[in-house]
Structure 1
């Protein structure tokens, strides 16, 4: 009965641990045997184990050598059994490490960490966002969920990738949704606007069903789905089309000189965005629209879930507004 229970335990543990236990058992066994056979030469069991490991791994320092016929016979048996077992262990360990990294890159490994950021959707926006997050050493680990992406090399991007449908509970469990600090759901650029918004809302519903507390930031392409997104549990709704429409509008309003759209594009490419409550900085940015403080420029404000770039409106900053500030990246001067 004891042997049966031990065999059940042994064959249910990972193969790496099984091999390690087997190698350890044989090294201790041969070390003890050689100590019994030649106690004057191998004065302690540890000396015997040391000799067994050095011999079995084919290193062969030569500091301990069996002298008797029986000792040499034990050495031959060790070389024929323990040596092959050690080699097999090292090969298996290497293969397992490679397979684990391949599974990470293919999105097949569950995430075990906590306080992480879950981003749904792989596109140019998320690429830039992940770059910003990784540059910020205070940021939390990032877990990316995407169904269309087949492979994302772990060593290149240094984030945890999960290849699955984010509307499935099993997928969100793999991303450890219960311990996430925030979830960002981006719109799928491969779908039409209405279909992309419906997918976003379904994902928000699935997330909220498994975690009732986590903040959910959603990107919507149409205004019609705003109320549905709120009912689905979205904490923050970003309408990216409104942002671009404002930029185009400002460009059309320019009669001469450099268009504001050109300026914004340069800023977006060469500067870092930050969002600060107006209450903290209101005294610095009330005088003029694009006032500068400590290398930061005021680009616009977010007011009642709307992004404002109009200079007249920005001049009347309110305490409840959120300032959109931009700071030049190092060694990236603004060229217009």
Structure 2
């Protein structure tokens, strides 16, 4: 009994992978050994394996029982040592799951998916953007990069990376090269626009440098505090800017002059009214913008622009470029119909 106790102390200290291999070898060897001891009862090693596993898991069906004294002594050894061994293995497995959960929560794991959205800098705006993205893209997933000690938000589609976004190793862990887009947010209640926009510039410059080094394109969207700082980003290759202060001021000004326009814009930006802004590609049957306009109108969608060109109604007879990026307004069901056409 003391020998079994000493063996258990040694087993507990063994590395997981080594323990799993030794456990597998022990069970297989025990299956052949009991078959060798009592070939009349355990006619083949598989029956021996059945007996070993029902013994060490305390199932004990009793359909196969050793008849000799030596066989029963080995059965006792399996009962004491085998049950202890399987308990340790199960404990190691549970410990492994707990460690994985802990490492994931602390942002220390690597993200291996693709087509995801990377959010750098957690804030209330970032959380709202995440919810909007997941509402629009039902198959999407979010990777958040920040320096918080734990994941800032619990969601089945959120993966947290703890690290410095200006470190390429952190970007690699977020698999940023395979991301659909990267969104860089300023902190909540940021009072120093120079510091906030300067930090965003350093981050986006790091991303751009990494993209050039790897010969890949990374779509970046940056929130900046002051519009006058945009020229400082000219070498950073930012795809889109969202201006925090000026956007709100412009919206309020337009609402004051053109009453009701603020509500219209807010409804378009939100998803509560069921209508949203969607991007589609040109169809082969659409030669001109008018062709696209009429075809979309029949299914309940409104064509509003080609990229940032809103003057389509003045050139409906113009040909649509092959690389056009058309934007429409409609609900999700209509958008799905348009995509299937």
Q: TM-score, normalised by structure 2?
A: 0.75
Matches for 1:63-78 after TM superposition, within 5 Å: 63-78=63-78
Local SS of the residue matching 1:238 = strand
Q: TM-score, normalised by structure 1?
A: 0.76
Matches for 1:158-237 after TM superposition, within 5 Å: 158-191=157-190, 192-212=192-212, 213-215=216-218, 216-237=220-241
Q: Is the 8 A contact 1:251 1:259 kept in 2?
A: yes
Give the CA deviation at 1:242.
4.1
Change (3 A) 1:104 1:194: same
The separation in 1 between residues aligned to 2:254 and 2:159, in whole angstroms, is 39
Give the CA deviation at 1:42.
0.5
Q: Could you say which residue in structure 1 is the equivalent of 2:5?
A: none
Matches for 1:81-96 after TM superposition, within 5 Å: 81-96=81-96
The separation in 1 between residues aligned to 2:91 and 2:53, in whole angstroms, is 17
Give the CA deviation at 1:99.
2.4
The separation in 1 between residues aligned to 2:315 and 2:254, in whole angstroms, is 19
Change (3 A) 1:261 1:214: same
Change (3 A) 1:299 1:250: farther
Change (3 A) 1:219 1:252: same
Local SS of the residue matching 1:59 = coil
Q: Could you say which residue in structure 1 is the equivalent of 2:3?
A: none
Give the CA deviation at 1:65.
1.0
Q: Is the 8 A contact 1:30 1:74 kept in 2?
A: no
The separation in 2 between residues aligned to 1:158 and 1:265, in whole angstroms, is 26
Change (3 A) 1:65 1:204: same
User: What do residues 252-274 of structure 1 show as CA deviations (whole Å, max 9, x unaligned)?
Assistant: 103xxx52212332343324232
The farther-off stretch of 88-97 and 222-231 is: 222-231
Q: How many pairs align? A: 304
- Structure 2 gaps of 5+ residues are 1-13, 334-341
User: What do residues 274-296 of structure 1 show as CA deviations (whole Å, max 9, x unaligned)?
Assistant: 24689979438999xxx977444
Give the CA deviation at 1:53.
1.2
Q: Is the 8 A contact 1:187 1:196 kept in 2?
A: yes
Give the CA deviation at 1:198.
1.0
Give the superposed CA RMSD: 3.6
- Structure 1 gaps of 5+ residues are 1-13, 331-336
